[in-house]
Amino acid sequence: MILAFLNITWPVFADALALGGIFALMAVGIGLVFGVLRLVNFAYGQLMMAGAFALAYGDQWGLPNWLSILFCFGVVLVLSVLLDHLVFRPLRMHSPAVMLVATFAVAFVLQNIALIAWGSFGKTAGSLGVWQAPWDIHGVYIRKIAIIAIVTAAVCLVLLQLLLTRTPVGLHMRAASMDFRTARLLGVRANRVIGGAVLISGLLAGVAAVMLSVEQPQITSTWALPETIYVLMGVVLGGLNRPIPATLGGFSIGFAFGLLGGILPSSQSQYLPSFIFAAVIVVLLVRPNGLFTRGAAPVERV
Amino acid sequence: MTALAVESLSVRYGAVDAVRGLSLEVRSGQIVGLIGPNGAGKSSTLHAIMGSAPIVSGDVRLDGRSVVGQRPEDVARRGIALVPEGRRIFGELTVEENLRLGLAARRKQRNGGGIERAYELFPMLREYRSRHAGVLSGGQQQQLAIGRALVADPEVLLLDEPSLGLAPKIVDVVFEALTRIRDGGLAVLLVEQRAQRTVALADESHVLANGDLRLTLGPKDAGDTDQLVAAYLA
Amino acid sequence: MNQARRLPELLAPVLLVLATALLGLEVSPYLQTYFLDTLVKVAIVVALYVFIGNSGVLSFGTISFVALGAWTAGVLTVPEGQKKITMPGLSHFLLSHNVGNVASLVLAAGAGAVFALAVGLPLMRLSGLAAGIATFAVLGITYNVLTYEQRIGPGLNSFSGVPQTTGMWQAAIGALICVVAAYAYQRTRFGRMLRATREDHAAAAAAGISTYRQRLLAFTLSGALAGLAGGLWVHLLPLQVGGLYLTLTFITLAMLVVGGSGSLLGAVVGTLALNGIYSFFTAATNTVDVLGWHLKVPAGTAEMVLGVLMAAVLILRPAGITGSREFSLPRRRRPVADLEKARATT
């Protein structure tokens, strides 16, 4: 009833939830790595892009869907681990700002490698396109991908929550993101925790890539870049340092985009990014402590 | 039996010598105190033993085998546990989760320790097991920090100013627990600023000032303040 | 006496800029574009340096000031008749007013300064990662607004009809103004106070230095220089808003990082070196003859090379090519100084 009042139809609502779900997964992926490494991975979208290109190749080689998806995961994971060893770990002793600049550079390198390899037209990952088809639910047509994305995101988030709260590895990760130094003194293995975070982050990137590729089957060098920026902003809005707020932040941005994009005419929704950016600035000014502390250390403030 | 041996240890941060040629020993079933004024190098010594401070020369041996050059998490896994300055408990985790973290350093062969041991030593913790550690008072947090260190069933327990910020009555509780820990067979190295209480408690206390070992005292010297003052200010 | 000894610090970047300009005059018109482009980039990177180098705080927002400067100078110099056709949505005030070349550059610098001041007032309290993300948000807002707001500029379209007044001399003078201004600033009390906050925050505060105010000053100056650079650029090429966003931010940051973010010389050297490489590879996308050998590379190579260089420098030699030091002549050995050094180590 409320939805009808606001002129929101079920399909639009479902799509918005789905986008929110995808963004939420990306937010967790980014947030996990930030928690243990204090690294904001600007290149996260490019990791997804690599996975999407893998999907495109799977499509081209006529692989069955499940195999394409596995290939996608493989590529993303390998690339994540490579990046971690070559770029993130050597830079670990630098400030988070320097690390942000480094991932910025890496994002551009990957982007342009894709441009060189596949040109500005890129490749098409069309085999999952069947999920664009709608399901008829009581007379309402909701796209299959919307339901799949919502369910997948929910399942992943629940599994992750279980991992973080019920397993020793999860406990170690949480402790490490609160106070790495003390955690190590208690015997928590730094390399394992970081490696675990990178791995899970990569898996989530893979899932998000698969979902997003249905929405945007044309994989180009800047695929997932705008989404990464918006997710980053959402994570900052929600709370970079804590997994649940970060997830909520990512979800909210995605949901807002999906909803407002679906109900507002484009002349009104074109300034939506500015509002989000402005909100981020306000949050950074008003509540920086919740966003950028490491354990008990205070945030840098003038 | 000597559990922990520190030999001619020198720690340097950049251009500053924090510890110079320090040697001491801690036996199983013994409490050794390390006292001295601020900046004397006491904390640095403990961190050097754990592998999180830069050692420029000297050796640290656990049961005769050197631990120098190992990562902090590996030193912990070898059997040395540190109760850090300021307690450093994880306020957003529950008391039980904090204790479970201590299991990270537990070696497979050990049967002792475990979370139950912490609860036995500090019954208060059992009451709060599902509460967030942040709600505990200073004294309770100190008990949690010690309990957490013992969960791994270490051979050596290092404590960095556990009495800091605690009321005298609570300090009694903590120090009494240390006595029981010692009687349980652990080697305890206690860094403190409260000189008199430490000298009275420990089997042997060393006075550290400006990175150098100045004096060694036994419990009977606890009443002799002149010696202490002289050593601190020398 | 002190000033004279420091003169090489200013002369080195100035001479480099002049050399670039003079060399640019000698080459073919086809290659001249690259030299002109390099000089404008020097102006931008020096503007970046004025804030980032002196304060040690990351800012992604400088390119917004470049964009605003470009918009200001461009909109006010396109001939009126053309404005009505190519930018019909323009506000009445902008449609009916025009200024001369130099005035447009001054206004561009002014616009950059005002915008930087407005942004800096709230943002200069932030440091580290927060500053980086906040200034990135500013960049995002600027890009979003300039893309869609037809009342202040061409929106998505490129600027056409802007008088191409930036020849080698205008570009060189513009770059020199930026270099001299940057040098003058870092030699003043204010510049030194800001550098003190970069070295040791707490000590500077204890000495009574207001980090906030000094950062705001540098940020505003940086905005002015960036605005000027934008004005110079719009008078050189038909700019489009897409070229004033992430890629340009990345390229100019790379130049600063590789050159050495802590020194003016680093900013200039980094720009000259990297834009040379960048221009080379960009030209090579249309085939270039190198030592009698045809080289053709795919689009994107130039950016990729810059990215790799930037990442490599960050990992291997964070202080950049110049070690973040200014240029100085080798000093004669002074016995007293050596003796003092010897005493300090005992």
Q: Where are the domains of chain B?
A: 2-233
- Where are the alpha helices (H) located in C188-295, listed in sequence order? 189-199, 201-206, 211-234, 246-259, 264-283
pLDDT of residue C1 exceeding 50: no
| Minimal CA separation from C122 to chain A, in Å | 8
Q: Residue A90 pLDDT > 60, yes or no?
A: yes
Q: Provide DSSP, C295-319.
A: E---TTHHHHHHHHHHHHHHHH-TT
Which positions in chain B touch A187 (Cβ < 8 Å)? 73, 76-77, 102, 104-106, 152
DSSP secondary structure string, B175-212?
HHHHHHHHHTT-EEEEEES-HHHHHHHSSEEEEEETTE
Q: Would you tell me the crossing angle of helices C101-123 and C62-75 to the nearest 10 degrees?
A: 150
CA B41/CA C188 separation, integer angstroms: 41
pLDDT digits (tens, 9 = 90+) for C15-32: 999 999 998 888 888 888
| Res. A172 pLDDT band, cuts 50 70 90 | very high
What is the average pLDDT across C130-141?
Answer: 93
Burial degree of C161 (CB within 10 A; 0-12, 13-18, 19+) = middle
Secondary structure (DSSP) of C180-213: HHHHHHHHSHHHHHHHHHHH-HHHHHHTT--HHH
Q: How far is B94 from chain A (nearest CA, A)?
A: 11
pLDDT > 70: percent of chain C: 93
- Answer whether A274 sits within 8 Å of C144, measured CB to CB: yes
State the distance between the two ends of chain C, measured CA to CA, in whole angstroms: 33
List chain A residues with CB under 8 Å of B72. Answer: 181, 184-185
In the predicted structure, residue C141 carries a pLDDT above the cut 90: yes
Which residues 136-165 of B are in CB contact (within 8 Å) with A? 148-149, 152
Whether the predicted pLDDT of A300 surpasses 60: no
Structure confidence at residue C269 (pLDDT): 93
Residues of chain A with Cβ-Cβ distance to B103 below 8 Å are 168
Task: Return the ∠ at Cα A36 (arms to A31 and A38), rounded to 5°.
Answer: 75
* Helix C168-187 and helix C264-283, axial crossing angle in degrees, nearest 10: 150
> Phi and psi dihedrals of A141, rounded to 5?
-95, 110
How many Cβ pairs within 8 Å bridge chains A and C?
143
Q: Which amino acid is at C246?
A: L
Q: Please tell me the least confidently modeled range out of A5-14, A106-115, C66-75, C158-167.
A: A5-14
Contacting residues of A for C141, CB less than 8 Å apart:
273-274, 277-278
**Is 80 exceeded by the pLDDT of residue C9?**
yes
Q: Which residues contact C97 (CB under 8 A, 6 or more apart)?
A: C76
- Supply the pLDDT for residue C256: 94
Distance from CA of A130 to the nearest CA of C (A): 33
Residue range C153-163: mean pLDDT, rounded: 87
Q: Tell me the shortest Cα–Cα distance from A22 to chain B, in angstroms.
A: 28
pLDDT of residue A4: 61
Task: Work out the minimum CA distance from A289 to partner chain B, whole angstroms.
Answer: 15
In this complex, the chains that touch C, judged by 3 or more CB pairs closer than 8 A, are A
Q: Testing the interface with C: which of A88, A108, A227 to mutate, by most C Cβ within 10 A?
A: A108
Q: Which of residues 197-236 of C touch A (CB under 8 A)?
A: 201, 211-212, 215
Mean pLDDT of C253-277: 92
Identify the sign of the CA torsion B140, B144, B146, B150. Answer: positive
**What is the least distance, in Å, from the CA of B28 to any CA of chain A?**
21
Q: How far is C130 from chain A (nearest CA, A)?
A: 7
- Residue of A30, A121, A284, A294 best to disrupt the C interface, most CBs of C under 10 A: A284
Q: Which chains touch B (3 or more CB pairs under 8 A)?
A: A
Average of per-residue pLDDT values in chain C: 88
Q: Which two three-digit tokens encode residue C86? A: 């190519």
Chain C contact set for A235 (CB, 8 A): none
C262 vs C329, more confident: C262
Would the CB atoms of C304 and A232 count as touching at under 8 Å? Answer: no
Is the CATH code 3.40.50.10320 the one for domain B2-233? no
Residue C329 has pLDDT above 90, yes or no: no
What pLDDT band is residue A290 in, cutting at 50, 70 and 90? very low
Residues of chain A contacting residue B100, judged by C-beta atoms under 8 Å apart: 168, 171
The CA–CA distances, whole Å, from B83 to A38, A289, B2, B147 equal 25, 27, 21, 9
Q: Which of C144, C300, C306 sits opposite A115 (nearest CB)?
A: C300
Choose the closest CB to B84 out of A168, A174, A185.
A185
Highest mean pLDDT among A2-6, A113-117, A279-283: A113-117
Residue B170 corresponds to which tokens in the numbers above? 């609570």
* CB contact (8 A) between residue B71 and residue A190: yes
Mean pLDDT of A31-48: 90
Helices H / strands E in chain C, number of each: 15, 2
pLDDT band at residue A289 under the 50/70/90 scheme: very low
Q: Does B94 touch chain A (CB under 8 A)?
A: no
Residues of A in contact with B159 (CB under 8 A): none
Whole-angstrom distance, CA of residue C268 vs CA of residue C179: 8
Do the chains contact at C122 and A94, CB–CB below 8 Å? no
Would you place residue C335 in the very low, low, confident or very high pLDDT band (cuts 50, 70, 90)? Answer: low
What is the DSSP code string of B138-182? Answer: HHHHHHHHHHHHHTT--SEEEEE-TTTT--HHHHHHHHHHHHHHH
Most confident by average pLDDT, A152-161, C85-94, C156-165: A152-161
Question: What percentage of residues in chain C have a pLDDT greater than 90?
Answer: 51
**C329–chain A Cβ distance below 8 A for any pair:** no
Distance from the Cα of C336 to chain A's closest Cα (Å) equals: 37
Element (H, E) at A196: helix A190-215
Asked if the Cβ–Cβ distance from B106 to A190 is below 8 Å, we say: no
CB environment C217-244: b (16+ within 10 A), e (fewer): bbbbbbbbbbbbbbbbbbbbbebebeeb
> Inter-chain contact A186–B100, Cβ cutoff 8 Å?
no
Low-confidence ranges of chain B (pLDDT < 50): none
* A–B CB contacts, 8 A cutoff, strictly below: 64
Range with the poorest average pLDDT among A272-276, A289-293, C172-176, C200-204:
A289-293
- Predicted local distance difference test score (pLDDT) of residue C345: 45
Cross-chain residue pair A178–B103, CB shorter than 8 Å? no
Strands B212-217 and B55-62: what pairing?
A: unpaired
Structure tokens at A47: 């990791």
Q: How far A184 CA lies from chain B's nearest CA (Å)?
A: 5
Q: Which of A185, A191, A293 best probes binding to B when mutated, by most B CB atoms within 10 angstroms?
A: A185
Mean of all residue pLDDT scores within chain A = 85
Question: Chains touching chain A at 3 or more Cβ pairs under 8 angstroms?
Answer: B, C
- What is residue B112's predicted lDDT score, i.e. its pLDDT? 63
Burial of C336 (0-12, 13-18, 19+ CB in 10 A): exposed
Q: Say yes or no to pLDDT of C39 above 80.
A: yes
Q: Which one is predicted more confidently, B117 or A209?
A: A209
Confirm or reject CATH 3.30.870 for domain A5-286, answering yes or no.
no
Rg, Å, chain A Cα set: 19
Say what the pLDDT of residue C324 is. Answer: 77
**Residue B215 DSSP symbol:** E
Q: Does B70 touch chain A (CB under 8 A)?
A: no
Question: Which among A179, A185, A190 has CB closest to B82?
Answer: A185
Exposure string over A166-192, b if 16+ CB within 10 A, otherwise e: eeebbbbbbbbbbbbebbbbbbbbbee
Assess whether pLDDT exceeds 80 at residue A241.
no
Residue C222 has pLDDT above 90, yes or no: yes
CA distance A70 to chain C (A): 28
- Look at residue C332 in the predicted model and tell me its pLDDT: 55
Indicate the pLDDT class of residue A5, thresholds 50, 70 and 90.
low
Smallest CA–CA separation between B130 and chain A, in Å?
13
Q: Residue C173 above 90 pLDDT?
A: yes
Q: Comparing A138-142, C60-64, C213-217, which segment has the lowest mean pLDDT?
A: A138-142
Chain B residues touching A189 at Cβ < 8 A: 73, 104
Q: Is the pLDDT of residue C145 over 90?
A: yes
CB contact under 8 A, A182 and B50: no
| Chain A closest-CA separation from residue C58 CA (Å) | 7
- Looking at residue A183, what is its pLDDT? 93
- Partner A contacted by B172 (CB < 8 A): no
CB contact under 8 A, B88 and A182: yes
Which of B49, B93, B101 should one mutate to test binding to chain A, selecting the residue with the greatest count of A CBs within 10 A? B101
Chain C residues inside the 8 Å CB shell of A93:
none
Shortest CB distance from C130 goes to which of A108, A271, A299?
A: A299
Nearest alpha carbon to residue A30 among A177, A149, A191, A163: A177
The HSE-up count of residue C346 (CA atoms within 13 Å, CB side) is 4
Question: Inter-chain contact A105–C250, Cβ cutoff 8 Å?
Answer: yes
* Distance separating the N- and C-terminal Cα atoms of chain A: 49
Chain A CB within 8 Å of residue C123 CB: yes
Average pLDDT over residues C332-341: 50
CA angle C104, C108, C114 (to 5 degrees): 140
Which C positions 247-266 lie with beta carbon below 8 A of chain A?
247, 250, 253-254, 257
Q: CA–CA separation, A172 vs A170, rounded Å?
A: 5
